[in-house]
Amino acid sequence: MTATHSLPAKGQSVIRLSGVSKNFGAVSALTDIELDVKAGEVVALVGDNGAGKSTLVKVLAGVHQPSSGTIEFCGQPVTLDSPAKALDMGIATVFQDLALCENLDVVANLFLGHEMSPWALDEVAMEVRAWTLLRELAARIPSVREPIASLSGGQRQTVAIARSLLLNPKLIMLDEPTAALGVAQTAEGLNLIERVRDRGLGVIIISHNMEDVRAVADRIVVLRLGRNNGIFTPESSNQDLISAITGATDNSVSRRADRKAGEAQEQHGGAACARPRTSRCWTAATSACAMTTASPPWRRASSTACAPATSACCPSPSASSSSPSSFPR
Ligand SMILES: Nc1ncnc2c1ncn2[C@@H]1O[C@H](COP(=O)(O)OP(=O)(O)O)[C@@H](O)[C@H]1O
Ligand SMILES: [Mg+2]
């Protein structure tokens, strides 16, 4: 089998989902999902548990077939009816458990199921290819003949990503790539994701860690209860993101920000409108934005795009907490 899609130029769409829904019997795991990932772009998929992130990744990996909607890959409509087909087309997935064999060395893990000359293993060629790939990723692996069991969490993550790059994918999806990593290893992991992006691939990462998401993502797509609930940039505030993720403007993050802003205002003599923009302001502002741009209500690009509307004073904390969010869906 050979892949028939060539890697699009940077900035061109690698994968585009339109109106994708997935039902499991009576459960609607995904409803009318829109997603666009471009070559050379990292898109973070965030959302609370049950938001539909894993289901979406499985739809793209060919594990689940969508109940409705269309998927375009490199500009052509496609049907991803099996994981093998998705992989062959150029969609690679690094699952959270990494799926590595502890007792096998790095080379064996990289080529598992895709061995060179499988009837008389070409160990030298595989080892050379392994070193080349790892060097391209600037990976810090002591030896490609080390068993996986002796590698650190970060090194394992590197091997799993390198393995997914072996088949020259156009899109790579990483499920919680930094969840099991320490501080230094996380930084390394994020560097690795940037290097993958610099190769011109489209990258989707699922993460619960907002700092990691901000550090590496070009766009942040929020899912909530199986639906799109906003597209943000790394500059968007934590409040905005948490509001979109939870659907509530009155949450612990916004309350803390309100409290800190109130304290700062007291210290500076209570200047009017000294409080930073709250999620609630943002909701109102971006609703106005959505109306003027006639885009779907969830497509509230960057909150900075809505800057003019935010110049109005924010409502008082009591007003915002007494009136629950009317987050547009
Ligand atoms: N195989 C399945 N059968 C039935 N329901 C499922 C299945 N997979 C996921 N779901 C449901 O779909 C919804 C989204 O789940 P999931 O995609 O795992 O969310 P997330 O990864 O964001 O936590 C949940 O309500 C979940 O129970
Ligand atoms: Mg999940």
Q: List, for residues 97-111, the tens digit of each pLDDT value.
A: 788 898 999 999 999
57: Cβ below 6 Å to ligand 1? no
CA of 24, closest atom in ligand 1? 4
Give the other-Cβ count within 10 Å of 132's Cβ.
10
Averaged in consecutive runs of 10 residues, what is the pLDDT profile of the chain (329 residues)? Answer: 67 94 96 96 94 94 96 95 93 85 91 78 86 82 89 86 88 86 79 89 92 93 95 91 83 69 76 39 32 38 37 37 35
- The H-or-E segment that residue 133 falls in is helix 123-136
User: What does pTM read for this prediction?
Assistant: 0.74
Could you read off the pLDDT of 308-329 as tens digits, one per residue? 333 333 333 333 333 333 333 3
CA distance 259 to 325: 19
Q: How far is the CA of 251 from the centre of ligand 2 (A)?
A: 22
CA Rg value for the chain: 22
* Strand bridging mode 41-46 / 202-206: parallel
Instruction: Give residue limits of the domains in the chain.
Output: 13-246, 269-326
The finding on whether 27 has its CB within 6 A of some atom of ligand 1 is yes
User: How many whole angstroms separate alpha carbon 165 and alpha carbon 231?
Assistant: 27
- Is the CB of 58 within 6 Å of ligand 1? no
Of ligand 1's listed atoms, the one at least distance from the Cα of 56 is 17
Helix (H, G, I), strand (E, B) or coil at 75: coil
Q: Confirm or reject: Cβ of 95 under 6 Å from ligand 1.
A: no
Fold of 13-246: Rossmann fold (3.40.50)
Taking a C-beta distance cutoff of 8 angstroms, is the pair 321, 244 a contact? no
Q: Are 169 and 133 in contact (CB under 8 A)?
A: no
Alpha carbon of 176 to ligand 2 centroid (Å): 9
Strand partners, 76: 73
- Ligand 1 atom closest to Cα of 58? 17
Q: Please tell me the distance between residue 32's alpha carbon and the centre of ligand 2 in angstroms.
A: 18
- Coil, helix or strand at residue 13: strand
